[in-house]
Chain A
């Protein structure tokens, strides 16, 4: 088992070279091979799909591309998607701050269970995330008859889309804030309160500035998912073109109608959003000084 690596070389090379012969990294050919394998894998699975989106979107030319984007149904989809994100992101951000405050500033039993429950939507198939609201608010659902009697539509309407998106994106802000605020402890808040600040002032002037990069990070990821969510929204939307189609659903409808260029045109907007999210995310990690922030899994 023990083969003295250096011994083979000592004879012909000067002794001072001996240290470099310790096998602390792989040989040059192995390194190059591994880098090539990794880059090829990523090129096939990440870069090529990105390139395809834009190449397909522009297949019929720039004019057709622009026309596909300002088409009324596409515009309606863009509006609905932005509206959903505009409602969902602030609500889940507020929830995230409240949950992080309760969990990190106080001691109580069941805390770990609560953290697990907050993370739950990430473990559940998005299809199930949409389906539970059909079971609750659909015509055959628990509250279905009552809602129908009062003329309230949730499923196959905008409220259903909003609630399903709330479900899917609920953990994002909370899971960024909780670990950081746990690490920061309570001393600064206690000092502020002792000096006469009230709870709100403490939150606004002490806690939030301390966690602002993580908060923005969570909001960014929450927003990206809210705009791009497909499975959960597909179940509750009913695919009513121009009314309950978000951008990802519009992509599906167009694609299934063989309007490939138009589908990829809308998809290219979503792709740009995703790339912007990635860029901002890298910038935030750099700003927060946590680079590389590598524990993020969603």
Chain B
């Protein structure tokens, strides 16, 4: 992957909220077709970092290069139209609406009927069923409500939606944190499929095992700073866990807990 040029370069990003320094100079390169895991404990600055990447926050210092060009996103819609899609842990799907209506929410296909522009339900239903089948989800029908899907399936619908609408970079904000074992496996399998299509995946998690299952490269954030990026195979789960916890305390704790953390 290293011979490719990065699709996003975050260079020395700093973000201050008043007197609080949330990010103190973080540099990360994201390549197409890789799954870049962003790890860190609560409060490490993961959320601030991806919100900067997706246009929600503007960096106080530092530069974002998108496909080699400096980018200044005024708001999240700029980032979305550039091809940076964020799938939020919650707040992605509307349970009472059908899968097909959710899939095309904000991007409704239209057909003309005389002077009227109507929602093209046939097209929407067909595409939804196709995309869901590609992701390995069997729907009862495109009019099935999202509320009947499991948490993992909802994440998958959201990911499929982002991919269908041309995302080049997919930011997944803790997609597995509230899921069971089987559902997590499904989401990780989805991430793998998406990566193979040449899309850059930024996978935020604080679960080292989930990260190691699919990640190509790993960046650990701690207290607003990056502790470096490691490639797959260069780092062990224990080292990652230690980096996330910020060093030595966990080692002691781990020995007292019998290595279960």
Whether chains A and B associate is no
List residues of B whose CB falls within 8 A of some A CB: none
List residues of A whose CB falls within 8 A of some B CB: none
